[in-house]
């Protein structure tokens, strides 16, 4: 294994034997494998990947997809049925609420217990105790049995231990879901600090925004198999598409554009329309209405690929009715993302209280959004235009969303250290000594 690799998983599978009745387990032992009294359940099948030192990797998937099984194999608390798992350095894991805690021990005693399990001496644990207690912030409860703790106190102490022993690999499985907002912010800051010092982090969460914001890459598991291992933004988009049952309509744009560019089409029907989509990372929706073109302009309606932050941009896209009866009520909007896929902003016509209707099949409506950009950190940003529609029952269905259709650069005239600069006024009052 390369010196740059922190975790290596090669052709790993995990099979469980499921017995319908307790006596079948005994019969299996007595027959010594000559007859099978169990059913095979493959929690994982043929999983392979490598993770470099210092990478932050998300893992997404439905419940039962094999996420927790994979993490337990990496931690060494489970043995694989086949394949090979290798890790480099100390592994700290927060897999289940209170896992590794003795409920009869006090919080302080459990700190020493967990530290010993992770290979630390009593002196090393004692030297880190103040830092752990300050992070957990559970006060005098540290000397009470953990069976008296709330779920929030459990996870605060558990995460404080795992994140403050300076692990080489940190694994977190949905444990932060029970923490309050303040504690979650502290955990995210600690993740950043660990990443800067070179800790490899595996982060399992159903929070798509957190995965996009925290992780560089993402693994998607489905029915025990790895569906994708790519940049976090791309994998999360694909996963959400499958999760909510949307179709991927990568070619939905071809037919409308061809029809509109036909010389026999009336000239008036082509004026003011958008007929080109610069980028298509992915398309989501049932295709009953489709986005046929999208452009980004400055205030003078000149196309732009780069602009100074704080400017106004004009996002315009055209939508064609592909198959719905006339009079459909549309909802058009956009998602604004950073290069890492973090969603900074979004809106749609319902929020802005602008009704949109479209007539018979083949008709087109063009929607324009005037967007005042905040003072953004210099870099690459993207708009993803979206169109949905209301059914007769009032439900909202996704028709088409083009991920990262418009990608453009933002330059800076003001020094910005974070993601953006909020409009701020500063006043100063001097008080004589």
pLDDT tens digits, one per residue of 253-278: 444 444 344 443 333 334 579 999 99
Section 347-362 average pLDDT: 91
Q: Across the chain, what does the average pLDDT equal?
A: 84
User: What 3 state SS string does the chain have?
Assistant: CCCCEEEEEEEEEEEEEECCCHHHHHHHHHHCCCCCCCEEEEEEEEEEEEEECCCEEEEECCCCCCHHHHHHHHHCCCCCCEEEEEECCCEEEECCCCCCCCCCCEHHHHHHHHHHHCCCCHHHHHHHHHHHHHHHCCHHHHHCEHHHCCHHHHHHHHHHHHHCCCCCEEEEECHHHHCCHHHHHHHHHHHHHHHHCCCEEEEECCCHHHHHHHCCEEEEEECCEEEEEEEHHHHHHHHHHHHCCCCCCCCCCHHHHHHHCCCCCCHHHHCCCCCCCCCCCCEECCCCEEEEEEEEECCCCCECCEEECCCEEEEEEEEEECCCCCCEEEEEEEEEEECCCCEEEEEECCCCCCCEEECCCCCEEEEEEEEECCEECCEEEEEEEEEEEECCCCCEEEEEEECCCEEEEEECCCCCCCCEECCCCCCCCCCCC
For residues 231-236, average pLDDT: 88
Min mean pLDDT across 11-15, 20-24, 106-110, 407-411 is at 20-24
pLDDT tens track for 66-109: 998 999 999 888 899 999 999 998 888 877 655 678 889 999 99
**Residue 139 in this model has a pLDDT that exceeds 70:** yes
Q: Which pLDDT value is given to residue 219?
A: 95
Confidence band of 326 (pLDDT split at 50, 70, 90): low
d(CA 67, CA 221): 7
What pLDDT score was predicted for residue 401? 92
Domains along the sequence of the chain with CATH: 5-243 (3.40.50.300), 254-411 (2.70.50.60)
Mean pLDDT of 324-348: 86
Higher pLDDT, 413 or 231: 231
pLDDT confidence tier of residue 150, bands split at 50, 70 and 90: confident
**Within a 10 A sphere around the Cβ of 324, how many other Cβ atoms?**
15
Structure tokens at 7: 């975790």
**pLDDT exceeds 80 at position 426:** yes
Weakest-pLDDT range from 45-59, 81-95, 185-199: 185-199
C-alpha 109 chain-centroid distance: 36
- The closest alpha carbon to 351, from 366, 364, 374, 332, belongs to 332
What is the pLDDT at residue 395? 85
CA gap 50, 8 in Å, rounded: 5
Mean pLDDT value across residues 137-149: 89
The rounded percent of the chain whose pLDDT value lies above 70 is: 90
Instruction: Return the pLDDT at 284.
Output: 86
Mean local confidence (pLDDT), 392-399 = 85
Which residues lie closer than 8 Å to 113 by C-beta, 6 or more apart?
100, 101, 102, 105
Q: What is the pLDDT of residue 254?
A: 42
Question: Are the beta carbons of 376 and 419 closer than 8 angstroms?
Answer: yes
Q: Which residues 6+ apart lie within 8 Å of 64 measured at CB?
A: none
Long-range contacts of 298-305 (CB under 8 A, 24+ apart): 304/408, 305/408, 305/409
User: Residues 371-390: what's their mean pLDDT?
Assistant: 92
Please tell me the predicted confidence (pLDDT) of residue 270: 45
pLDDT tens, residue by residue, 113-126: 888 887 788 998 99
How much is the CA Rg of the chain, to the nearest whole Å? 27
Q: Which of 90, 60, 72 is nearest to 16 (CA)?
A: 72
pLDDT for residue 268: 34
Task: Tell whether the model's pLDDT for residue 14 goes beyond 50.
Answer: yes
Handedness of CA 14, 207, 419, 137 (dihedral sign): negative
Question: In 3D, which of 164, 184, 216, 165 has the Cα closest to residue 339?
Answer: 216
Q: What is the mean pLDDT of residues 367-375?
A: 93
Contact 70, 221 (CB under 8 A): yes
Q: What is the pLDDT of residues 279-324, one digit of tens each?
A: 987 888 888 999 999 999 999 999 998 888 788 999 999 999 998 7
Higher pLDDT: 393 or 330? It is: 330
pLDDT grade, residue 248 (50/70/90)? low
Largest CA distance in the chain: 93
């Amino acid at each position: 294994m390369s010196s740059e690799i922190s975790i290596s998983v090669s052709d790993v599978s995990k099979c469980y034997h499921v017995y319908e009745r307790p006596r079948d387990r005994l019969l299996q032992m007595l027959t010594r494998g000559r007859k099978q009294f169990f059913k095979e359940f493959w929690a994982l099948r043929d999983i392979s990947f490598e993770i470099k030192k210092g990478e932050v990797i998300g893992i997404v998937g439905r419940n039962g997809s094999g996420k927790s099984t994979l993490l337990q194999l990496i931690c060494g608390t489970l043995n694989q049925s086949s394949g090979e798992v290798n890790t480099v350095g100390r592994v700290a894991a927060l897999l289940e609420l209170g896992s590794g805690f003795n409920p009869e021990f006090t919080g302080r005693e459990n700190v020493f217990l967990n530290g010993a399990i992770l290979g630390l001496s009593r002196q090393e644990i004692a030297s880190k105790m103040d830092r752990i207690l300050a992070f957990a912030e559970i006060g005098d409860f540290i000397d009470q049995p953990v069976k008296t703790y709330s779920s929030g106190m459990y996870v605060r102490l558990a995460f404080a231990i795992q994140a403050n022993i300076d692990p080489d690999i940190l694994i977190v499985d949905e444990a932060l879901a029970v923490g309050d907002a303040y504690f979650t912010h502290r955990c995210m800051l600690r993740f950043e600090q660990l990443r800067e010092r070179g800790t490899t982090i595996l982060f399992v969460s159903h929070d798509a925004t957190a995965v996009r914001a925290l992780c560089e890459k993402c693994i998607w598991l489905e029915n025990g198999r790895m569906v994708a291992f790519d940049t976090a933004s791309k994998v999360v988009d694909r996963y959400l598409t499958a999760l909510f049952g949307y179709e991927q309509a990568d070619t939905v744009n071809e037919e409308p554009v061809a029809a509109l560019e036909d010389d026999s089409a009336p000239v008036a029907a082509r004026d003011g329309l958008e007929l080109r989509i610069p980028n298509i990372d992915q398309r989501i929706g049932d295709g009953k209405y489709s986005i046929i073109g999208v452009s980004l302009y400055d205030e003078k309606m000149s196309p732009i690929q780069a602009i100074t932050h704080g400017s106004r941009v004009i996002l315009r896209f055209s939508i064609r009715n592909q198959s719905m009866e006339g009079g459909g009520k549309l909802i058009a909007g956009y998602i604004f993302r950073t290069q890492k896929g973090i969603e900074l902003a979004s809106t749609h016509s319902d929020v802005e209280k602008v009704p949109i209707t479209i007539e018979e099949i083949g008709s087109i409506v063009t929607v324009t959004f005037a967007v005042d950009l905040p003072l953004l950190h210099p870099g690459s940003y993207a708009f993803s235009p979206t169109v949905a529609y209301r059914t007769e029952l009032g439900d909202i269905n996704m028709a088409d969303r083009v991920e990262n259709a418009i990608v453009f650069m933002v330059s800076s005239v003001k020094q910005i250290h974070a993601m953006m600069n909020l409009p701020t006024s500063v006043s100063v009052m001097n008080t004589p000594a």
